[in-house]
Amino acid sequence: MILLRWLYSLLGYLLLPLVVLFLLVPRKGRQGYGWRIRELFGFPRFTPDPSCRGVVWFHTVSVGETAAATPLIREFHRRHPELQVVITTTTATGAARARQAGDFVSHLFAPLDYPHAIAVFLSRIRPCALVIMETELWPNWLAACSRRQVPVILMNARMSERSCRRYGKLGPVFPYLIADHLSLVLCQNQEDAGRFRSLGVRGIQVTGSVKCDIVPPEEQRLRGGALRRILGPGPVWIAASTHEGEDELMLSVQEKVLASHPGAVLLLAPRHPERFAAVTALARRRFAGSVLLSELDPLLPGAAGDQAVDQIADHDREQSGDLVGGSAQEQVPVPEDRSGNAPAKVLEELPANGSGNLTGNDPVNDQENGQGTQIKGRSPVVVCDAMGRMFELFAAADLAVMGGSFADIGGHNPLEPAALGRPVIMGPHYRNFREFTQKMSKEGGLLLAGDQEELAGALVRLLGDQEERRRMGAAALGVVTAGQGATERTLEQIDLLLRSRSGGSG
């Protein structure tokens, strides 16, 4: 068995030159790590706080998991101010979201799964526990924690049937590499718990999904209402967290929606900021009147919202002068009015009647040109070129279509729009949220669309039926409400384990 881990690590080292090349070679529109690439190899700039009794390491992977874990981490800190909190992620967007958790958080990029990297990392931060969100399990991480007697907690744990079958084929290898090193596994439901047990995992509790405890920020609710007024009286739908290939599909669907609802607006929100520029160009080819969300910010009250990508770049400039990544504004220049107010492009598109919205319902003014569909006085597509504002966008929309479910990604979190009482549409690929997708569908809060035609038909019908949308939104919110309480149950189990291990420094 020891040979297996040795072979796994050897393969990793043989691939190391390719890994380094992948990390260092610039790619258009994609954020790099800058000087922080050293953290991936176990060398973080981190100094333990001498006033704290220990360090608890939370690993939350990317932006979605980090957002879901943030309320729990904040409550953990409130209960345990004597413990220093470190959050690691693997993505830059996750890094920015982690920074929003609070000043008490130290963010680091997660070390790669090389024995030397995780050994140095653990020596630097000396955690008294590692809490992993959902499914991120790395053999060398787990083995190194076991050697140092650092308990490993898997929270909000899920295991798909397909993954269970795949791990089951490993036989006794899975317990050796993974299961034997897990101290506590807090599952979302009994089905997940049963799959973990079948693989030989011990220490299992069912605590529910912390994603049901999500509380939409009031500030974003209010800004969403203001954005909705700017967009005008027509129906508004959002395609949230889209992946490559889905943007084209959503824009094609919008053309069909406009045929029945001429005032409709699509909020197109790509999942990854490195795709903002490409999606903007695509939208403007299809709809010449498309605008960026950042172009509308001067028309909204208050600050422009959480510009997550800019936060990363600003942080890294302060540290070393390296540019980690440019914002979407740098990639897609926006002409500004000399007065310093709204961008000139937006002001030109505002209706002449001074109504203060960017939409109109007059199909007579629809026209075609060589650059795509131009809808006079109306912006039929708003490309959302900012991170950390999803609740604002859901609040502005009448219903939500979740990305990652029409591409074979597994779907993104339908509980977020549901928490605002918005009806939801998912595509055929929803394995990441199978339980809640099926619950919401059964309760009437979510529709499943198998393809582009079904999606267009559902949107045309729902955008024209306010009462049905209200009924669906209430049903979706009911599913979220019924699942709440997981954060408290999860914290209770973490507290019990930490108390049982009290006195250990990791």
pLDDT digits (tens, 9 = 90+) for 379-411: 899 999 998 899 999 999 999 999 999 999 999
Write down all domains in the chain, each with its CATH number in brackets: 36-208+485-500 (3.40.50.11720), 219-328+337-482 (3.40.50.2000)
Residue 439: strand, helix, or coil: helix
Q: Amino acid identity of 358?
A: L
At residue 31, the pLDDT reads 65
Token pair listed for 246: 């889905």
Q: What is the mean pLDDT of the chain?
A: 84
For residue 290, what pLDDT band results from cuts at 50, 70 and 90? very high
In DSSP notation, 278-316 reads: HHHHHHHHHBTT-EEHHHHGGGSSS-----HHHHHHHHH
Least confident of 3-12, 107-116, 271-280, 359-368: 359-368
| 297: number of Cβ within 10 Å | 20
* Identity of the amino acid at 303: A
What is the SS3 assignment for 124? helix
Whether 80 has a pLDDT exceeding 80, the answer reads yes
| Contact (Cβ atoms closer than 8 angstroms) between residue 265 and residue 465 | no
Q: Of the given ranges (22-26, 115-119, 149-153, 294-298), which has the lowest mean pLDDT?
A: 22-26
Instruction: For 113-129, write each residue's pLDDT tens digit.
Output: 999 999 999 999 999 99
Express each pLDDT in 403-436 by its tens digit. Answer: 999 999 999 999 999 999 999 999 999 998 999 9
Nearest-CA neighbor of 241 among 396, 389, 408, 402?
Answer: 402
Q: Give the type of residue at 20.
A: V
CA angle (101, 104, 108) in 5-degree steps: 75
Q: Which of 291, 280, 383 is nearest to 331 (CA)?
A: 280
Distance CA(162)–CA(160), nearest Å, equals: 5
Q: pLDDT tens, 453-494?
A: 999 999 999 999 999 999 999 999 999 999 999 999 999 999
- Alpha-carbon gap, residue 38 to 109, rounded angstroms: 9
State which amino acid sits at residue 229: R
The Cα 119–Cα 9 span in angstroms is 13
Distances, alpha carbon 74 to alpha carbons 54, 204, 208, 377, 493, in Å: 17, 24, 18, 45, 16
Q: Which amino acid would we find at residue 184?
A: L
